[in-house]
Structure formats: structure tokens, C-alpha cells
A and B are shown apart, each in its own frame.
Chain A
Amino acid sequence: MLIIEDLQVELAGRTLLKDIDLQIRPGETHILFGPNGSGKTSLLMTIMGYPQYVVKKGKITFGGTDITHAPINERAALGIGMSYQRPPTINGLKTRQVLDICAKRTIDAGEMARSLNFEDFLDRDINAGFSGGEIKRSELLQLKAQNPDLMLFDEPESGVDIENMALIGTTIAQILEKESPRAGNTKPVARKWKERTKMGLIITHTGYILDYVPADKGQVLFNGVLACAGNPREIFQCIGQLGYEECVKCTL
């Protein structure tokens, strides 16, 4: 379980996030809406532990451990992972090697890559010249290999063409244990739902991801403040019709 209490965050001396309270329980996936520059990515980077995002106030707890000031790799070890919107290129480091790092060499990178039509990229330098959609598939593959309990997605649909959207969407649903139930399960569906442990926090602009991932809760981040928690589809609809500013009025 992720618990964020009264969080205030600065980047280069400027306050980006304030009064943030957020709880994600095992099995839950939350959607984060918000206009550009509202602090969505900053919130994800703060949860992941990027040192330039300085926590001035408040506390982040994950799985009972206070991680407010823990380094990135310790958070990763505790089970937090992230799918980046614009990850850096690392020259000379092959995608296959990064997958090995993610999975601590417990999986067959080739096999896993096949599930996302990504075998051809395994021997290319990570993120070097990748298109928007290729970056997303690479990021998903890394998360899949890492298999963390809490997954942070920064705009997983951006730059993805329609053809690949279904692949991205269903993969996210699958790794978050939110895929649509199939017949012939050994366990009753309801019990499987109860046993889910994966947590997700997804930033979206387009809302496409909602077609694939049945999210539990939506929230709007506006000017660094979380507002308007509720049904993600309703919130998305409200934003679509009235805009962010109108939509967050209810709570401000």
C-alpha cells in the first residue's frame, strides 16, 4: 500500500506540489489527470525518488516503510517501478542488458520481448532512435521484467499509434492484474479480484487507457494540488466537456 500524507515538493527552489494526500491499496489502479505543468510527472518522480524533487514536508510510506528520503534503487527494491514518458538514451547499453538488469536475469529477455513484438530491438542501444510507440513498448517490457508491486505510468499512450494502442493497453491491464476475466479459470473471478496485489498510478491526457484498464479511482492534479477524486470515467468526461478548471471547482 502506498500512503502519501501532506506532501510538499520543490524543484530548484520552486514549489511544485503541495498538500498532497493519496492512498493506493493493493489491487487498485488510479488515474491521474491534469493539464500540462500541473505537477503530474513531478508526483511520479517524487514517488520514484528522483533526488532533484525535494520533499519539504510530509511523508511517503510504501508497504509500511517510510521511503520519503530513500534513494531510487531502494524504492525499486521495495517494489516500485516506473514507465517513463521520455527515458534517456544510454549509448552502448543494449535493451537486452537493461531487461536483464530489471529481471535480475531471472527471465528470458527474448521470450518476453516477443509478447510485445520487440525482439528486433533487443540488440539496439536502449532508447536510441526509438519512436514514441517503441519507447512505450520498451518501458512496458522493462516493467514487466521488473514486476514491481506499484507501477507508475507517465502517459503510456503518448506517441502510440492506434494499431499499437490495444497492445499497450492490454499489456498494462495484464501487468496490473486488471485484464478482462476469461472463462475457464481455476478460481472464481471474484476471488481472483480480491487476491490482487498490484497497484498502479497512470497519468493520461487522452483517456485512451481507460478503454483497456478498469481503473478504481481518478484524480485531478491542478496547480500542484490534488482535487476531485472520483470515478475516472466521470472525471474524464467532465474534463472533456468543461475543462480542467471547471472540473476542479467542486473541491477548491
Chain B
Amino acid sequence: MYTVTELEEKARRALDKKATFGDDVDLDSFDRTFVPHKYLAEEEICALPEDEQKRLIMSGLDVTDKGRGGTYFQKDTTVIHCHSDEEGIEVMPVTEALKKHDWVKEYFWQLVPVDQDKYTASAFLELHDGYVIRALPGSKSIYPIQACLYLDKENLQQNVHNLIIAEEGSELHIITGCATSPHMKRGVHVGISEFFVKKGAKLSFTMIHNWAEEMTVRPRSVARVEEGGLFINNYICMKPVRSIQMYPTTHLVGNDAAAMFYSVIVGTPGSYLDIGGRIFLKNRGCRAEIVQRSISNGAHIINRGHLIGEAPDIKAHLECKGLLLGGGIIDSIPQLEGHVEGVDMSHEAAVGKLAEEEINYLMSRGISQEQATSTIVRGFLSVDIKGLPGPLKEEIDRTIDTSNRDTM
């Protein structure tokens, strides 16, 4: 464990350090001062203006809290709502948790290096807030916990740090939405997330991005999965955004640990999306799967996938499919790395266009060319995510459906 002084020193040294991937962002041109907002009671969230509610719903935040096990809601730099309804699940703001509970420090900056780049450094030195969600040993949540990181103030750089801990034998589902208010145009979101999936625990994390056209987004997340643990990481981004660069990394450290990354990306003109995923399989019986689906309607999309097999009897697969529908670039970079005998690793990657044959086939069943096209695109985007509770799966399908209708 690092001391705060050590972390601070490291962070200061990294303040100008560019990230390995993605376009460089001039953070000095953004404002990081605190923006006070009033704490909202549950019923007050429901009273938010309709267009804001709509954007929240699109990002997975159910304002009525129905079908949710708890809520964390941060607007700009300030927590405006935070509670848990589920027994055995704790939801708290990270700044408060760091003050109140010593155990939180054992997780803070343990997986993500504070000096990885200027974004991590900035998130440490000028942290606004973030959430700690922890499922106590053996607790099982059926309803997902929802977390929403909302940006309202023009030109703000939002620095967030999240800790997600699934204790031994627990089951935790989180749906997290990032969104901007309808009037907001330019801003930066830096989000540090550290995931701890302990022995036999199961954690699903579904992130829905719903940004503004001039937003720059730099998530930095690392997960650690112990023996028999399962980490499902879903990512959906189908709305215009200027630039996203992320490269979530998972370390499968225990025997039979498993991780699945699923991402669905639709990129519009002017968007630069560098979306990666890396999984280290460090012990016997570990399994990993990365499934990426991307559509470019004129965006520049880079799909990186990297699987590293360091132990025998591991199984890893990467599937990356891209559709170019209206110009743009899809750059697919799958990478497999086997370090010992007895690894079983594979990938399939494809970039192409819609098959005329499939469109004609559906048209002969009575639907128009446009309907056939959107039906096929919808199919392309639907990935079978295993291990999610029914309602959450339906919700992901609905989100993709709605966004798909909007984009087509």
C-alpha cells in the first residue's frame, strides 16, 4: 500500500505524461473547480425536467428507482443522491468512505497506477468524487445498483474514482450511465475504476455512454479476479462523442477465474473511439472472452483486444466484428499472447459491409429495404451476454434497440 505522499509525488511527476493511445487532451483548457449542487431526495430526482430525465433513462438511470437495488448519482463534481436498498450491499461516495472507513484505503489506487498518464494523475490530485459499491460476503443482489455520472457544467473536467468490491461468494450487478445534460457541449470525463472480484464472486458491470458531441472521455479501469470469480464487463456507446480512449484491463489471478468483455459501439462522423480490452490469464483454468461489435457511420474506430495466456489449461477467445455503413475507418487490432504450453487461444476479426443477400432474403419475407437493413444491423449488435439477470439483459437490448432506431 502506498502512502498518500508517495501517491502524490508519483502523480505530480506524471502530470504531463501522455497516454499510450488516443489523441492528447489539453487538460489545462478545462475547468476542474468544484460545482455545488443540492442533494436530492428520491422523489426530487423524479421531478427533474423531462429532457434531463430522458437522457438519464437512456444511460440506464431509472429515476423511479424501480427494479434497482440502489443508486449513486453524481452531478458534475457533487454527489446529489446515494443510497442502497439491498441488504448486504453498500453504496457510498468515495471521498466520504475514505474518511470513514480504513478498509477503503486498501483498495484505493491498488490496481490502476496513479502515474499511468496525466489523466490518472489529475484524477488523484483533483478528485471530485465517485462511488464505492461493495457486496458483502455471500450477499446476492438481483436488482442492479445504478450509478450515474452526469455532466451539466460547460467546459468541466469531471474527475471520478470508483471502487467496486464483490466480496467472497457474492453476486453484484451494476449498471452505470454517463451522460451530459441536453445543453452541454464541451467537457472531459476522467473515470478511474478499480474492480475487486473475490473468491467465487460474480460481478457484472454494464456501462452506457451517452455523451455530447464535444466530449472527451478517458476511463481508466483495472479489475482483479480471484479463484472461481466471474467478471462481466459490458460497454455500450452509440451516441456522438468527440473522443473516447479506454483500455480496461483485467487480471485473472486465481484458478478458474473468468472474465467477459462485451462492447457495442456505433460511431458517428467526428468521433474518435479507441476502445480496447486486455485480459491477463494468470492461472490454471482461467477463461476469457472479448466480443466487440462496432459500426461506423463515419467515425474513426479502433478496436484493440489483447489476451495474455500465462498458465496452462486456459481458454481465451476474441471476436471483433466491424461494419462500415457510412464511411469512416474501423481499425481492428486483435492480439494473442501465449506464454506457456497448453494455452488455447483464438480470435476472429472481420470488417465489412452489410450483405446484400441477407437484405434481399428479409425483403422477400415482406419488409422494406430500410427495415431489412435495420433488422440486420440490430442482429449484428446483439451479443449473447451470459450470466446477466433477465431484466438487465432486456434493458441492454432495449437500449441498443432505441439507440439503433435513432442512428439508422
Instruction: Report which A residues bind B (CB closer than 8 A).
Output: 48-51, 71-73, 75-77, 81-82, 84, 87-88, 90-93, 97-98, 101-102, 104, 125, 142, 146
Contact = CB atoms under 8 A, between A and B. Distances in A.
Nearest to A80: B364
Contact of A93 (B364, B368, B369, B379): B379
Contact of A98 (B357, B360, B365): B365
Smallest CB-CB A-B distances: 6 pairs: A92-B379, A93-B379, A72-B363, A76-B366, A92-B382, A73-B363
A118 B298 CA distance: 41
Nearest to A86: B357
A92 B368 contact: no
Contacts of B252: none
Contacts of B376: 90, 93
B4 interface: no
B381 interface: yes
Contact of A101 (B362, B369, B382): B362
Interface string B374-402: 01101111110000000000000000000
A82 B364 contact: yes
Of the listed residues A91, A97, A98, A125, the one surrounded by the most CB atoms of chain B closer than 10 A to its CB is A91
A76 B363 contact: yes
Interface residues of B, number: 22
Interface in B338-390: 355, 357-358, 360-369, 372, 375-376, 378-383
B393 to A, nearest CB: 13
21 contacts: A48-B364, A49-B364, A50-B360, A71-B369, A77-B366, A82-B364, A84-B361, A88-B357, A88-B361, A90-B358, A90-B379, A91-B380, A93-B379, A97-B375, A98-B362, A101-B367, A101-B375, A102-B366, A125-B379, A142-B365, A146-B366
A73 B367 contact: yes
Contact of A73 (B364, B375, B380, B381): B364
A13 B367 CA distance: 29
B363 A88 contact: no
Interface of B is mostly: helix
A73 B369 contact: yes
Interface of A is mostly: mixed
A101 B360 contact: no
Contacts of B363: 71-73, 76
B104 to A, nearest CB: 41
Given A49-B364, A73-B364, A90-B379, 20 more contacts: A48-B364, A72-B360, A73-B363, A73-B366, A73-B367, A73-B368, A76-B366, A81-B365, A84-B361, A92-B378, A92-B379, A92-B380, A92-B382, A93-B375, A93-B379, A98-B365, A102-B366, A104-B366, A125-B379, A142-B365
B361 A90 contact: yes
Of the listed residues A92, A97, A125, A142, the one surrounded by the most CB atoms of chain B closer than 10 A to its CB is A92
B381 A72 contact: no
Nearest to A76: B366
Contacts of B364: 48-49, 72-73, 75-76, 81-82
Nearest to B384: A92
Interface in B30-57: none
A234 to B, nearest CB: 32
Of the listed residues A50, A82, A104, A125, the one surrounded by the most CB atoms of chain B closer than 10 A to its CB is A50
